[in-house]
Structures are given as structure tokens and as C-alpha cells.
Amino acid sequence: MAGAKETPRQKLIGMMYLVLLAMLALQVSSAVLEKFAIINVTLEEVRQETNIKNTTLAGNIEKLAAGKTNEKVLKAVDDSKKAREATKTILDKLDKLKTDMIKLSNTDKVDEKVINDHGSKVATMMMDPRATTGKDFEKSLNDFVTTMSSITGEKYEKIAKAPKDIDFFKDDPDHNKKDFITFTFENTPPIAALATISEYQTQILDIENKVLTNLAAKVDATNVKFDKIVPMVKPVSSVVAAGTKYEADMFITASAEGLTPQMFRNGQKIEVVQDPITKVMMGKVSFPASASNYDDKGLSKQTFEATIKIGEDAEQTYKQTIEYFVAKPIIRVTTGNAPTLYLNCGNFVNIEVPSLGTSYNPSFSGKGAEIIKGSKAGQVTIVPKERKVSVTVSNSGAVLGTENFDVKPIPRPHVTKKDQSGKEVDPKSGAKISQLTQLRISVEPDDNFKNEVPKDAGYRVRSMEVLLRRGTAFVATQNTTSELVDVNAWKSQMKPGDVIVCHIRGVTRKTFQGTDEKVDFDVYELVSLQ
């Protein structure tokens, strides 16, 4: 008892009709008018087919209501009669209008006189402001839609549309300012006008079909007749390892054409769509699975209540508690070479849950650390602020688990001393005065620290006092704000046995975010001279 949906044939006819209207607006000649004659015949055939379906549908409503005393059922039968009467009235009125149009071509049927008539007699009849023909026509279409809406309470698409309300013409500056009658009949020869009226008649019958389908569902809500019976298979597990048995339960499911039940999960309404293969109406159950307690196998038993209601007033309601198991996700953390994290550093970490596959779109929250999400799913940068850090992983609002990390302090950097050639100064023998013109005193990171968080391992000397010492006396002094020491100016003063003392007082570390962090560093370094 389903309402007839628009078939591909009807869609094609409708599109051809719009194209011909557009061509007609361009003053295309007789060939176009002949196409309108063909379209008109086809529309008449569609009208007859739909009218037969509607007559059958109305008869089925009365058959199903036979012997019933339910007030809602009796009203549905009465309303179906009103719908049929309203449809017949307007179709008869439009048939008379088509007859009057044909007569304007001096004939009583659609023949060569009508098809080859390029005159504007029909347009004049419909658009004449002194007459009421066009206004009555538009009012009849609008009144019909209003009547049908009052019967079911549903809102149906308007038939008498101005071009601004039609997608095909709404942006056309030549038409989108016109009213319905002008747009429909201006410069329109008789055969095109006849096809136009036939098109409106098919729309009228389509609305009637929707109304009768609505009423039929009300009448038959307490007696569901399943007309679609299909086999279904429910697998014991959707994943089967190679070499193991595939196990499933096979059963029959059924659906009734034209019946769209209401479906709920835990009282919340869900989307119901028609399965493209079986044509059975199916509710789309979709929600993020979550659990807090798991057994020793890593499973947590969960349930939800499935409810299906049939009929406008839910005369039939079916409920079942559905059990399912949530598997504890295995969170895989990759931190490069570092088993632990470094305090106040950008520790790049991959947090993956392989079992979620492409549905893995996580969010993260941290305790004792700032969490910066990366460009790809699972990539994060953890910036610890405390010696113990926990990171909670969620997916689609469901908490998957929490990972804990130990945090270690940044290892103390060391100092290197190199001459102007880049060669490290021998700590035992020192530097030769004759060859020394410059010293580079650098603060270098611990090797492991540099390898694990390279973007956080850049040190720079900001303040250093350099002294030339002979015995216990200081011969010369200079201050520098970099790691370079110019000792060439002391060449005439330096003697073998002297010592260059480098007092490093200010050091900064460049963080992964590009900021400078002050390092607690106060070190004396000595370079002996020979």
C-alpha cells in the first residue's frame, strides 16, 4: 500500500518539460511544439496510471476498515473519500479548461490545428486582467493543496509556483520577477498550455497518492501485513581468523512496504532508512561504545534497550534488551628512544589504538602536563610540568584508557673549550700561546637528551666573565655575551704557565616552542697556557 514514488520515467518527463519550457522562451518553432504534443500524451498516460493506483489504494482503505469501529480508522476512511472528491473536482475543472483551450484553435481535439497554432489566444484568455480564468486556475491549485494538508496535517509542496520558487528558473533574470500566471502562459501556444495543465494534473494525483498512503497507514497500523520477507545472517563474530570456523545464525526478517516504523535506543529516536538491497526499513544504531570495568579477558558486558513502534499512536510496540561486549582497547605508546619524558620539554609521542582502525580520531587530556595535539591522529606533544604525568585517551567521547609516564629532569649540560680552528683544547697540556687567537666556550647538552628531544637541546651562553690569571693575580679581564672569547688582545701579556679563567654565569636553553628558558648554570672553566 505504499505511495507511488516518482519513477525514472516521470523524472525524465518532468525534466524534458522544463527544458521545452526554456526552449519555448527562446521562441523555438514548430519542432518544439511537436515535442510538447508528445509530452502531453505521455503526461496523460502517467495521469491514468497514477489515478488507477490511487483508486486501488482508496479501495484498500475501505476494505481494511471493514468491520472496524475504531474512531481513528473511520475518520481515515471518511478523509480518503474527501481526498478523492477534492481530486476529482479539480481534475474535472482542469479538463474543462483544456477543452476551452482546444476550442480556441477551432477544433475539438488535439490535432494539427492545435499543434501548429502559434497564436496567443490561450495566453490572452489566461492573462486577461478583465477575466477571472487565470486567477481561478491559480486559486484552484492553491486551494487543493490547502485541502489536502488539512486532511492529514502534513505540508505538501505548492503546485502553483512562481519562477523564483523553481530551481531551474530562480536565477534567470528574464523570468524570476514574473508571477505564476504570466510565467506559465506568456507567449505560450495552445499545445504547450495543454501540456502544462497535464503536468499540473499529474502533480495533483501525486499529492492525492501521498494523502491516501498516509491514511492507509492509519487504517492498517494495527494489522501489519508483511510483504517483504528476506533472509538475514547474524554472525557470531564479525572477525574470523584464517583456519577457524565461521559461525552465524540465519533467520527470516520481514517488513511492510509503505510502513516506516519508529525506532529507539534507550528511548532516544534513531534514523530509519530503507536498506538498498533488501528494501527492509532498518534503524541505524550508532553510538560510541564505552566501559569502565573489564573482566580478566578484557571484556565488559553492556546493554541497551531497543524499541520499535508501529503505527502513528504506537499501537504495537516491541522491546528487547540487547547485550554486547566492549573490548578493552590496547593503547600502544611510542616515545622514540625515550622510556620516560623530560620535564618542561616537548616530548613527541605516538598514542595508537590499532583495534579502532580508521575510526580512531582521539582526543587527549593530561594531568601534570600540557598536551598539544599533532597534525595526525594519535600524534601528541607532551610538556610535563610535574615528575608524574598521566594522559587520558578518548575517542568519540568515550574514554579508552589512561597512560602514566615517569618524568625525569633535564640532564645538566657540559662545557667544551675549542680554539679558533675548532679543535678542542687539551685539558692537560692546555693551549699554545703562539697559536691561540680565539676561544669558543660552548655549553653542550647530554648526548641522550640531545637524541631524544633535539628541539629542546639547544644551549647558548648569554653572560661570561673571562680573566687572565698569573699565579694568584689577575692580569686582564673581559666580559662577553656570547661563547666567543677574543684572546688576541692579550697576546703580549700572556706567558707560559698563565691560566685563562672562564666564569660562565648566564645560559639559556631554546625550547621546542622557540622560547628561551633560563638555565641554572654557574661554572668556572680553566684553560692553561704554554
Domain that holds residue 367: 332-408
C-alpha to C-alpha distances, 529 to 25, 80, 428, nearest whole angstrom:
102, 113, 10
Tally the domains of the chain: 4
pLDDT for 415: 92
Residue 53 and residue 149 in one domain = yes
| Residue 193, domain member (yes or no) | yes
Give pLDDT tens digits for 471-528: 889 999 999 998 989 888 888 898 999 999 999 999 999 999 999 999 999 888 888 8
Q: pTM for the complete prediction?
A: 0.44
Proportion of the chain in helix, strand, coil states, percent, rounded to 5: 35, 30, 35
Specify burial of residue 35 (Cβ count, 10 A radius: 0-12, 13-18, 19+).
buried
Q: Which range scores top for mean pLDDT: 258-262, 360-364, 382-386? A: 382-386
* pLDDT above 50 for 161: yes
The type of residue at 409 is P
Residue 198 and residue 281 in one domain = no
Residue 481 and residue 433 in one domain = yes
Q: In the listed set 195, 219, 243, which residue is the last one of a domain according to the structure?
A: 219
Locate 55 and state its grid cell. 483508486
pLDDT for 387: 92
Element (H, E) at 226: none
Cell 585517551 -> residue:
393
Residue 314 and residue 341 in one domain = no
| Residue 1, domain member (yes or no) | no
Identify the CATH number of the domain in which residue 379 sits. 2.60.40.10
* pLDDT above 80 for 389: yes
Distance CA 220, CA 255 (A): 14
| Residue 178, domain member (yes or no) | yes
| Residue 2, domain member (yes or no) | no
pLDDT for 308: 86
Q: Does residue 381 sit in helix, strand or coil?
A: strand
